Homo-oligomer: A and B are copies of this chain.
Amino acid sequence: MKERGLLIVLSGPSGVGKGTVRQALFAQEDTKFEYSISVTTRKPRQGERDGIDYFFKTREEFENMIENNKLLEWAEYVGNYYGTPVDYVEQTLEDGKDVFLEIEVQGALQVRKAFPEGLFIFLAPPSLSELKNRIVTRGTETEALIENRMNAAKEEIELMDAYDYVVENDNIELACERIKAIVLAEHLRRDRVAPRYKKMLEVE
């Protein structure tokens, strides 16, 4: 009676500190997520191992994966492909383990389509809630700078709509705690737990 794992997607605007939070999470002993290993066409750097840091592929192999729907999401950055292999994710979830993805906003939107039941967490810049103070205590920043920041904030807030939870990254430790609380709480949702109990009683 193994419970299928949860797909946890951490995303947010670039520069918000997704990678730092992910590293801090995985440095904690009680973190039980499996980190989803990405596929890439870039060359391995010193010390990087295939199947641990990345799955290293040629462009041809990667493009075959795209064609055969073997990627949950993918993108091209500075001439290299990066993507999330769907088989690895599926297999790990089936094994009852939670899978953790840390990806860009565009990738998260792609994953949402394939895995609407995933847990989508938006990592929000603390600057968003500091914004009000900055606006109130003008003078230190130019009007143009504030307006730029306001427009960026509006876009960031609109992005949130595709997510289930919002975690402010005002403090890395706190952000990690919040993410772990979200995952724990999701495992305790009645609509996940009750069917397990019901199944248990059928055993006779």
Residues of A within 8 A of B (CB): 122, 124, 128-129, 131-132, 135-136, 150, 153-154, 157, 160-161, 163-167, 177-178, 180-182, 184-186, 188-190, 193-194, 197-198, 200-201, 203-204
The reply to whether B131 and A200 contact each other, CB–CB distance below 8 Å, is: yes
The reply to whether B163 and A190 contact each other, CB–CB distance below 8 Å, is: yes
The reply to whether B188 and A131 contact each other, CB–CB distance below 8 Å, is: no
The reply to whether B167 and A188 contact each other, CB–CB distance below 8 Å, is: yes
Q: Determine the chain B residues whose CB is within 8 A of the CB of A165 once the complex forms.
A: 185, 188-190, 193
User: What is the chain B residue whose CB lies nearest that of A196?
Assistant: B129
Q: Determine the chain B residues whose CB is within 8 A of the CB of A184 once the complex forms.
A: 177-178, 181-182, 185
Q: What distance in Å separates the Cβ of A20 from its nearest Cβ neighbour in chain B?
A: 19
User: What is the chain B residue whose CB lies nearest that of A184?
Assistant: B181
Q: Determine the chain B residues whose CB is within 8 A of the CB of A150 once the complex forms.
A: 201
Number of copies: 2
Q: Determine the chain B residues whose CB is within 8 A of the CB of A185 once the complex forms.
A: 165, 178, 181-182, 184-186
Question: Contacts A129-B200, A201-B153; is A188 near B182 (CB within 8 Å)?
Answer: yes
The reply to whether A132 and B189 contact each other, CB–CB distance below 8 Å, is: no
Q: What distance in Å separates the Cβ of A139 from its nearest Cβ neighbour in chain B?
A: 16
Among A153, A177, A189, chain B packs the most CB atoms within 10 A around the CB of A189
Among A136, A165, A197, A200, chain B packs the most CB atoms within 10 A around the CB of A197
The reply to whether A166 and B190 contact each other, CB–CB distance below 8 Å, is: yes
Please name 10 pairs of A and B residues whose Cβ atoms are closer than 8 Å in the assembled complex, sorted by A.
Answer: A128-B197, A128-B200, A153-B197, A157-B194, A157-B201, A165-B189, A166-B188, A167-B188, A181-B181, A184-B185
Question: Contacts A135-B203, A185-B185, A197-B128; is A190 near B178 (CB within 8 Å)?
Answer: no
Q: Determine the chain B residues whose CB is within 8 A of the CB of A188 once the complex forms.
A: 165-167, 178, 181-182
